[in-house]
A and B are shown apart, each in its own frame.
Chain A
Amino acid sequence: MKAYLIRRLLLVIPTLIGITMILFCVIQLAPGSPVLLRLQKMQGAMGSESVPQEIIEQTQKLYGLDKPLPVQYALWVKRLVTLDFGTSYKDRRPVLDKIAEALPITLQLNLISIFLVYVISVPIGVYSATRPRSAPDAIITFFLFVLYSLPTFWVAMLLIFFLGGGQHLNWFPIYGISSLGADQMPWSQWLLDRLWHMALPLFCLTYAGLASISRFARAGLIDVVRQDYIRTARAYGFSERVVILKYALRNSLIPIITLIGTLLPSLLGGSVIIEQIFSIPGMGRLAFEAMLSRDYPVVMGILTTSALLTLVGLIISDILYAIVDPRIRFE
């Protein structure tokens, strides 16, 4: 196990280098240079020609943009290591502070959503895998398929339209993650209020993941049930319940555990839309607003943190994989 861990963690190094390089390329993509944007912002006008040469040079020095590319890259890596993403162009606050405020909200939503996805989809997968090609299986498969193809933002808009005030039912709040004055509530009321606010966004984040994970769960279990050791278990006369839940299910869960790592980036991406629609002050909304106002340091900061987060997710799922499947460790 130790050897596997060391090998896995060593493999992170080239990935990290690759990530920093891609991020660096994104910096170079900016129209003109960030310097000009910043100066335009300061003047509130288009006329970058009127900016004194001296100021341009100073700002360039600050960002190292006047240096050759390798030096720029080294500077960028140095800032990354110290998690120094600079200050926002918009309100001059450190980017790290803004991310630290937004990240817990997004993580909260996404982790609850991942939890729900697994809690709901594994039983569904087991249910349909144990009766393949029966009527209930066909209905579930089709229903999940439809869920899988429904665009999140459309579902969110429809939910808002029909359940969030508007002209129809007014069951759920559609703005933010807590009511005004939620800080003063007793904790039980606070929790209810939070859940009430999160219900619609959570639903939207969860249903798509649900569809894909339960399809994987179903396929995995069907594959495992075909194997010899399951026939052996049946031959021993164990009840079907024991065969499925004790012998087959465990092994069929292995591949979908590793999917946690890949679920995280898609959920993070999905939260841009969801947080934007429901006005949730998380990473997605922060990123969206930063992109709209071309707030460069914030965009880069969020891109970097989310890439690092996903990398952590991937490593965790690999380690989980090694824990549940001993074969991986000795490969």
Chain B
Amino acid sequence: MSAAVDTSITPDASARRRKQSYWRIVLRQYRGNVLGIAAFLLLVLFGAVALFAPFIAAGAPFYLVMDGNTYVFPNILDYADLRGFQFDRWQPRENDVALWPPVPFDPNRSDLRNRLAPPDRVHWLGTDDRGRDVLSRLVWGSRVSISIGFVAVGISLAIGVVLGSIAGYYGGVIDSIILRLIEIVLTFPTFFLILAVIAFLPPSIYSIMIVIGLLGWTGIARLVRGEFLKLRDSDFCTAARASGLSDARIIFRHLLPNALTPVWVSATFGVAGAILVESSLSFLGFGPPPPTPSWGEILAQSQSYLHRGAWWLVVYPGLAIFVTVTAFNLVGEGLRDAMDPRLRQ
């Protein structure tokens, strides 16, 4: 029954058309924002680096001919006869071929003869206190940072959208209960609470994602609630209710798509915030357990070696965090400006 009612009474089709053209307007607005475009391209690049990390920085070549055997992708596939083989001691023979990624170092392979080496032609960004290549660790660290950023915000989005839409749609007692909940979560110095919880949980990248996500939903919930308060008195909502649709269907199929616009901006800023929190946690030693490479963890190491002038341990990981966070913030800002009708040209 609902399918027939849907198309005839609710303005689903026209809403979709309007939405499409709305996004086209946003896109057109965004295209004029040079800084925003640059930031977006940078993020795409960083995402690609994170995704293809084994082909950018690895301790094994991605194509290898050794002693007459051919190995394809030994950097990601497990070959029984290469297990434990140390490529850095390898003396290639005449017919051997090896195609290396641009950074031919494993992020976790330590080289104690090369501890704290300053940047040079071999180690482009130097090595850390165990002789591990900093650039390789930065490349693999981007996986940790970006995935924590997205998963944490995904969790926040799920909670914030559900609670916010319920609060805004039903109002009354339910609304005030959820508002209290938001106030309670806001009251905690989030970073303290995250630290405390992380300190008592077994260390893992997942617990960090979950805790950051569980504490970051309040802003999104408030936004969605505000939108729902406006939408629930609109004609199309009344029409949907009059045609006997269930509350869940009205909330998620009809109102939510119209309420999500400001949420995307908030989510973009949220990713930046989550990356900052993760790197702060790693900096304090509560990040993903070693030997997982993480930007904050490299920066934390530098604390002990600053007096020896190991500036590359401070500058590069910090720069990685800063550039990523700035790029996410710039994209968020650009989106907000592009969506703001008052700034439309």
Interface pair A265/B329, CB less than 8 Å apart: no
Interface pair A166/B187, CB less than 8 Å apart: no
- In the complex, whether B276 has a CB less than 8 A from a CB of chain A is yes
Interface string of A238-269 (1 = CB under 8 A from B): 00000000000000000000000010111011
Interface pair A151/B318, CB less than 8 Å apart: yes
A154 CB contacts on chain B under 8 angstroms: 299, 314, 318, 321-322
Measured in the bound complex, the distance between the Cα atoms of B303 and A160 in whole Å is 10
Q: In chain A between 123 and 172, which residues have their CB closer than 8 angstroms to a CB of chain B?
A: 145-146, 148-154, 157-158, 160-161, 166-167
- In the complex, whether A311 has a CB less than 8 A from a CB of chain B is yes
CB distance from B329 to the nearest CB of A (A): 5
- Which of B189, B201, B326 interacts with A146 by CB under 8 Å? B326
Interface pair B192/A269, CB less than 8 Å apart: yes
Measured in the bound complex, the distance between the Cα atoms of B325 and A270 in whole Å is 17
Interface pair B187/A15, CB less than 8 Å apart: yes
The closest CB in chain A to the CB of B198 belongs to A291
A19 CB contacts on chain B under 8 angstroms: 184, 187-188
Interface string of B273-287 (1 = CB under 8 A from A): 000100110011110
Interface string of B237-271 (1 = CB under 8 A from A): 00000000000000000000000000000000000
Question: Would A311 and B196 be within 8 Å (CB), given that A151-B279, A157-B303, A166-B307 are in contact?
Answer: no
- In the complex, whether A299 has a CB less than 8 A from a CB of chain B is yes
The closest CB in chain A to the CB of B326 belongs to A149
- Which of A22, A31, A145, A151 interacts with B200 by CB under 8 Å? A31
- In the complex, whether A276 has a CB less than 8 A from a CB of chain B is yes
CB distance from B167 to the nearest CB of A (A): 15
- In the complex, whether A81 has a CB less than 8 A from a CB of chain B is no
Measured in the bound complex, the distance between the Cα atoms of B197 and A30 in whole Å is 8
B296 CB contacts on chain A under 8 angstroms: 153
How many chain A residues have a CB neighbour from B under 8 Å?
Answer: 49
A167 CB contacts on chain B under 8 angstroms: 307, 309
Interface pair A145/B285, CB less than 8 Å apart: no
- In the complex, whether B165 has a CB less than 8 A from a CB of chain A is no
Measured in the bound complex, the distance between the Cα atoms of B329 and A14 in whole Å is 35
- Which of A149, A276, A277, A307 interacts with B187 by CB under 8 Å? A307
- In the complex, whether B53 has a CB less than 8 A from a CB of chain A is no
The closest CB in chain B to the CB of A313 belongs to B187
Interface pair B181/A18, CB less than 8 Å apart: yes
Measured in the bound complex, the distance between the Cα atoms of B193 and A303 in whole Å is 7
CB distance from B210 to the nearest CB of A (A): 12
Interface pair A157/B299, CB less than 8 Å apart: yes
Interface pair B188/A310, CB less than 8 Å apart: yes
- In the complex, whether B202 has a CB less than 8 A from a CB of chain A is yes
- Which of B184, B192, B284, B333 interacts with A145 by CB under 8 Å? B333
Q: List 11 A-B contacts (CB under 8 A).
A: A19-B188, A30-B200, A149-B272, A154-B299, A157-B306, A167-B307, A167-B309, A265-B189, A273-B283, A273-B284, A287-B192
Other than the known A151-B322, A273-B284, what 11 A-B pairs have Cβ atoms closer than 8 Å? Answer: A14-B180, A15-B183, A18-B181, A29-B197, A161-B306, A265-B186, A266-B190, A269-B190, A272-B192, A276-B284, A277-B303
**Chain B: residues with CB nearer than 8 A to chain A?**
180-181, 183-184, 186-193, 195-197, 199-202, 272, 276, 279-280, 283-286, 296, 299, 302-303, 306-307, 309, 311, 314-315, 318, 321-322, 325-326, 329-330, 333
